[in-house]
Structure formats: structure tokens, C-alpha cells
Amino acid sequence: MWQEISRIGKKLVEHGLVESHFGNISVRVGSKMLITRSGCPLDEVTESNVVEIDVDNPCSMDIIASSESIVHREIYKKTSALAIIHAHCIFAVTQSLLVDTGSIVPVDSEGKYFLGEIPVVKGDIGTQELAYNTAQALGKFKGLIVYSHGTFATGKILDDAYVTTTQIEHSCKIKYWYDMAKK
């Protein structure tokens, strides 16, 4: 399974959806999750950069797991997700800073069709508040943006979460350029 996490990590970096050392990826396997280690470059994921931790309870391996493992854990507890990608997409972060409401409405046809709207939630990195807000929104949506921080996307497999991540970033990029052209 770490090979799939590595494959997706390389795609995220290659396509500019994250800088190498930012973001994290996890997959649920029964009552456990495999998640990238804290500070792991996503384009260099190896077996030793993926940590197995418990979904239901904190454990000793949490200390080396991603700082966002609390968020991944809550998403797995509250949704049917089996895969999660957290990325620091530039246009998604930018749009979250510009929005006056709790969501972004895409202007492009694909964004309207596939996403409908993109929730923007708040909470500090790696906090219970962020975990709660993210899990609540992902109970209704495939992806979201954390204000000034990045995207979270879910799926049954990592490729689903990857597609949602790319859709969010694409729609945010189109909206950014569209809004700039209107000025």
C-alpha cells in the first residue's frame, strides 16, 4: 500500500498541487490507517515514511505521524472515506483567503458539475477544532479547503481523492482568473 501512497505523492508534487514537504496522504485499512510521516517529502515516499496508526485511539506512533493525523482520524471515524489527501494547493489557499462566505462556488462547468460548491472550514493545524470541522463537511462533500491552509479530499481509493484535489485546484484557478478579468 505504501507504493500507492508514493505514486500519488509524486503526482501531487509533479503537478504542483503541493510543495514536496507539505501535505499528507493516508489510507484506511480496517481499524488502522497508513499515513505519511511528519515532514515526509511526498515525492520521496518510501516504506519507512509511512506509519501505521490506530483509527479509533491515539497511539505511540502518533508522535512521528503527520501533524494532521488527528484530522485524518476524525474523517475516518465520521465518514465512509477509505483514502484521504491533504494538499497545499496554491489557488485553493488563495481563494480561501478571498472568500467572504463559508464556501466557494465554482464558475467553471466541471467544478459546478463535480463539486457543486467547495466548503471552506476553519481551524488551526492539527487541532480537534479542525478535525471536527473537516469531518463534518466531508460527511456531505468529497473535498474542501481549510482557510489559509489547503485542501482535504476523500475517496474510496487514493485516485478518487486525487481527482477531487485536482478538481478543487482547477476550479479555484479558473475562479481566480475569472474574478481578476472582471476587475
SS3 of residue 44 by DSSP: helix
CA distances from 148 to 30, 67, 92 (A): 32, 16, 9
Residue 50's pLDDT is 97
Residue 183's pLDDT is 75
Helix (H), strand (E) at residue 146: strand 143-146
Residue 100's pLDDT is 84
SS3 of residue 25 by DSSP: strand
| pLDDT tens readout for residues 20-39 | 788 999 999 999 999 999 99
Residue 20's pLDDT is 76
Question: Residues of the chain whose pLDDT is less than 50?
Answer: none
Residue 89's pLDDT is 97
Q: Which domains does the chain have, with CATH numbers?
A: 2-182 (3.40.225.10)
- Alpha-carbon distance of 158 to 5, in angstroms, equals 8
